[in-house]
Amino acid sequence: MASSSTASPLPRIVLYHQTVHDRDGKHISILPLITQPGVAVTHIIVAAIHINDDPNALTLNDHAPADPRYATLWAELRIAQASGIKVLGMLGGAAKGSYVRLDQDQSLFEAYYAPVYHLIKDKGLDGIDLDVEEAMSLSGIIRLVDRIRADFGPDFLITLAPVAAALLDVRRNLSGFDYEALEVMRGSQIAWYNTQFYCGWGDASTPIMYEMIVARGWAPEKVVVGLVTHAENGAGFVPWELLRANLTLLNFQFSRFGGVMGWEYFNSSPGGKDKPWEWAQRMTSVLRAGEGVAIDDTPAQDLNKVKEGVVDLSKTSSTGVGVQMVDPDVGAPTDVPVPAEFDYFSDFSNGSDD
């Protein structure tokens, strides 16, 4: 059974859930995240909520959130909540337009925000993930954060999903606004950042970029390492053997390590579409070992080697070439490659982006 996320909130294990039907229209169940042994997922983020030209035409991927095709999804998410897993909704993503519409004068903001408010209330969501992948002003995101906090109270979770490079250099950013400035001004209202360490915007194959982010002043409990769960879900997939070593090191190095998030659930490795919960089992075995099951070589063995100085896990890269630990005084990288546009597909229908 999944453990309560409130009992031991760190490190978090967060999963995005966007593809909720297979190609034949069969529902993809998240219940194994609750019923399978050795799984301690703390948060599920249902994606992706889109604000469209018509303020009353809010969509979850390609359909209205109240569409009958989502009835089983919402029922399972309520079961997850009853099992102690927090459920959030992701607003925005690569399909642009939601935040441009919210970043306008007050009357238009009210018109476009209202359906989001009602969706959160109607579905009893525990939080919202603001995935801003288009230009938005700092004042605009602050207004949105302030309004959500005022409407839903102090326990409601507000997260954001920047690319990892944006936490080091405002110029390497999909969101327009400066995340460091946002953290200074409204950090107390933001639970954590689902940071995208993939698609050319970050590298999860070594601990270096995470260490640089912390060295820059970000609290480790607020930076969650975002991963693609399968090579088909985006560039930057990290093989399990390497990922296990790096996460073990980060969890040992930072006593309040923020955890991991995975994009996305339906085809997660190693189980793929048949057993997508196995990704969460493996993350549990590394980060929440007391609640998980041993997978291959146990993380404890890796950790003991780190403690004894037998092996420096940080000097392993995805190519097998050694890399050096980052000097904590080093600032942002001078050049981060910018990838080409990429698309995700929801429900295998009209090709909506996340």
168 close to 139: Cβ distance less than 8 angstroms: no
From the list 44, 38, 36, the residue with the least C-alpha distance to 261 is 44
Distance from C-alpha of 293 to C-alpha of 301, rounded to nearest angstrom:
14
Residue 158: its H or E element:
strand 157-160
Q: How far apart are CA 246 and CA 317, in angstroms?
A: 9
Structure token digits, residue 105? 């004068």
- The domains of the chain, with CATH numbers, are 12-315 (3.20.20.80)
What's the half-sphere exposure (Cβ side, CA atoms, 13 Å) at 340? 1
pLDDT at 223: 98
Reported residue count of the chain is 354
The CA distances from residue 228 to 92, 265, 324, in Å, are 18, 10, 24
β-bridge partners, 15: 44, 262
Q: Give helix 138-152 / helix 179-186 axis angle, nearest 10°.
A: 40
Q: The whole model's pTM is what?
A: 0.83
Q: How much is the pLDDT for 95?
A: 86
The amino acid at 226: G
In the chain, helix, strand, coil percent, each to 5?
35, 15, 50
Mean pLDDT by groups of 10 residues along the chain of 354 residues? 51 98 96 97 98 96 97 98 98 93 98 98 98 97 98 98 96 94 98 97 96 98 98 96 96 97 98 98 92 55 44 36 30 38 38 42
